[in-house]
Amino acid sequence: METQLEQKCREAGLKLTGQRRTIAKVLTEATDHPSANELFKRCTEIDPKISLSTLYRTLRVLEEARIIQSHDFGEGFARFELSTKDPHDHLIDLVSGDVHEFNHPDLERLKQFIAKEFGYDVVRHRVELYAIPIKSSQGKRRRVRS
């Protein structure tokens, strides 16, 4: 069965070699925002013949085709995710390095309000929150859901 990423590659006219299919599979199955090194480790567990240069070339091609996005969260390396039409922002845990996606209607309204106050329409945006966990009285991390 063709993955969403493979379908986007086909639609963009990109050739899908066996190694690119492996990279596409790993990207599609990622539930996090992996770095190139993390992707390389996952890919070579499936196909040990994949080289780091093949991975980087494939990531560049996929990003140029706007099939994936890279993010610089100030860690000295890029993290990757599939491009999506669903707007979302990122909260980066400075302790664990975890990246949480979120979308909050109040924030969406506030972004529009601010732009309108200055006489603009928002065409794209990026919000990144860099945070440390709040510890409860029992020393456990609390999770906040929107």
Tens digit of each residue's pLDDT (9 = 90 or more) over 30-74: 888 999 999 999 999 999 999 999 999 999 999 998 889 898 888
What confidence category does residue 135 fall into, taking pLDDT thresholds of 50, 70 and 90? confident
Of the two residues 47 and 103, the one the predictor is more confident about is: 47
When mean pLDDT is compared across 6-20, 27-41, 102-116, the lowest value belongs to: 6-20
CATH architecture of the domain covering 4-82? Orthogonal Bundle (1.10)
CATH code given to domain 89-131: 3.30.1490.190
pTM: 0.70
β-pairing verdict for 78-82 and 99-102: unpaired
Domains of the chain: which residue ranges? 4-82, 89-131
